[in-house]
Chain A
Amino acid sequence: MARDRNTHAHYVRPIRRILVGLLVFVLLAIFLLWRIDSPRVERFRAALVDRVVPNFEWALVPVTAASGMIEDFRSYQRIYQQNQELRRDLQKLKSWKEAAVQLEQQNAKLLALNSVRLDPKLTSVSGVVLADSGSPFRQSVLLNIGRRDGIMDGWATMDGIGLVGRISGVGKNTARVILLTDSNSRIPVTIQPSGQRALLVGDNSSRPPVEFLEKPEQVRPGDRVVTSGDGGVFPAGLLVGQVAKDTDRRLRVQLTADYERLDFLRVLRSRSSEAITDAGALLIAPQPDLTEPDAANSAEATNE
């Protein structure tokens, strides 16, 4: 079929094809670069998000607030049921309050006896959730605080009570929080009261499973899960949630933080604790060639 545009298409089409090929090549090169040198590209991503998303803030915040109001309004419809539930809860809480008051007094006494200081360096910065990840495959939120406010990668983020996630990606004005539910999230935790160490592994479900547990039979549903501080990832003792047993008998964690309504988050300023590297000059005289095997032996001994 002869078309008159073919006269110029003779030379336009091959050139166009080459240019498009080049474009696709550049795009795939960006992808490979991201795969090879992820931190650099992720830093670029954080900077880009930092430039773009705050422009939406004037609209994002009111829309979010309005939808929250609609949600609240809907809950009025079943206000009677709620009232009944709240009364029942109140009854339960009264007995708990009694127990808590007693424990608090006991705790205060014990603390005074020991004069314990509970990690005095732990202070926090609060931020507002600007946006979520925009994709059902990634679980993260964007906060309106960033490098300007001294936020650093890896810090723990909490809502009022429970751990929410950790900072990953800091721009000048924004910081991204990878939630515990994201499939890239791995948090070392301790399960109380048995004191077992495990890893909380996000899997894109609302109740992340607990893995690498040494003795699962010692863990019961309802046990408290707190961060263990292993590996210097987080400060120890932040509340994460409660153990729950899934229908497939896997242990999962019911998160304490209210993931339905993440609006204000606290970012904990944690400073890395000082690492003890030498063996102690007073106890052991410096013996440079013997310290290595010694350290290895003692490590084995503690493992056993």
Chain B
Amino acid sequence: MSDVSPSSKWAYRFLFVLLVVLIVFVRLIPLQTTPSVWAMPDLLMCIIFAWVLRRPDYVPTLLIAGVVLTLDFLFMRPPGLMAGLVVLGAEFLRARIHTVRELPFSLEWGMVASVITGIMIANRVILIVVMSPRPPLGLSLFQLFVTLAAYPLVVAFSRYGLGIRKFSPGETDALGHRI
């Protein structure tokens, strides 16, 4: 069984940051400077939620907040808004790990989908409330659907590529606590 030693925990946190750097890099390459009619999925959100439901200790809340806030700044989004919403969504899922552990994947997917949809709606509503310019609705919807579609792929990649699986019931951490 995979042990939850502190060193592997830090290795996975480092891996998370590496993945984020990769995402930033790919999205910043100036390949397409004309406005596009399609949007890339928000892979970072998928990774965060997939990992939170599997190994919450790999993605501590502070790390999530820091990473999404930095991306808010780099990607010219309103800073802090998306970060706050993603932290809230991650907390919501973190509190339901024990429920999700016993669910089949399709239900987990539905749960994550509703969280992501909620985040997108809240994002838009807040932008409307503060009368800030909003991205076009069609493009946002497109991005939402692609993100939802990408979630199983991200989970499969985490499971088979990186070896991040759900805790089995009764597993203990390094200090002997039940997780």
Contact = CB atoms under 8 A, between A and B. Distances in A.
Contact of A5 (B28, B29, B139, B177): B177
Contacts of B78: 31, 34-35
A249 interface: no
A141 B81 contact: no
Given A23-B62, A49-B73, A59-B25, A29 B30 contact: no
Contact of B88 (A24, A132, A206): A24
B174 to A, nearest CB: 14
A256 interface: no
A45 B74 CA distance: 7
Contacts, number: 137
B31 A64 contact: yes
Contacts of B76: 45, 133-135, 138, 140
B27 interface: yes
Interface bin, chain B: 35 or more
B116 to A, nearest CB: 17
Contact of A184 (B32, B74, B77, B133): B133
B141 interface: no
B74 to A, nearest CB: 6
Given A5-B178, A24-B88, A52-B74, A141 B30 contact: yes
Interface stretch (B7-15, B36-44, B149-157, B158-166): B36-44
Most chain B CB inside 10 Å of its own CB: which residue of A29, A30, A129: A30
Contact of A206 (B34, B69, B132): B34
Given A5-B177, A60-B28, A262-B30, A137 B79 contact: no
Given A28-B80, A28-B84, A136-B38, A20 B91 contact: yes
B34 A135 contact: no
Contacts of A63: 29
Interface in A60-113: 60, 63-64, 67
A132 B87 contact: no
Nearest to B83: A27
A261 B135 CA distance: 24
A204 B136 CA distance: 8
Nearest to B140: A137
B30 A136 contact: no
A68 to B, nearest CB: 9
Contact of B39 (A136, A140, A205, A261): A136
B97 interface: no
A260 B33 contact: yes
A32 B130 CA distance: 9
A198 interface: no
Interface of A: 3-5, 20, 23-24, 27-35, 41, 44-45, 48-49, 52-53, 56, 59-60, 63-64, 67, 129-141, 179, 181, 183-184, 204-206, 259-262
7 contacts: A27-B87, A48-B73, A60-B29, A131-B28, A132-B28, A134-B76, A135-B27
Given A41-B79, A56-B25, A134-B27, 11 more contacts: A23-B61, A31-B126, A63-B29, A129-B33, A132-B28, A135-B75, A136-B38, A137-B135, A141-B30, A181-B35, A205-B35
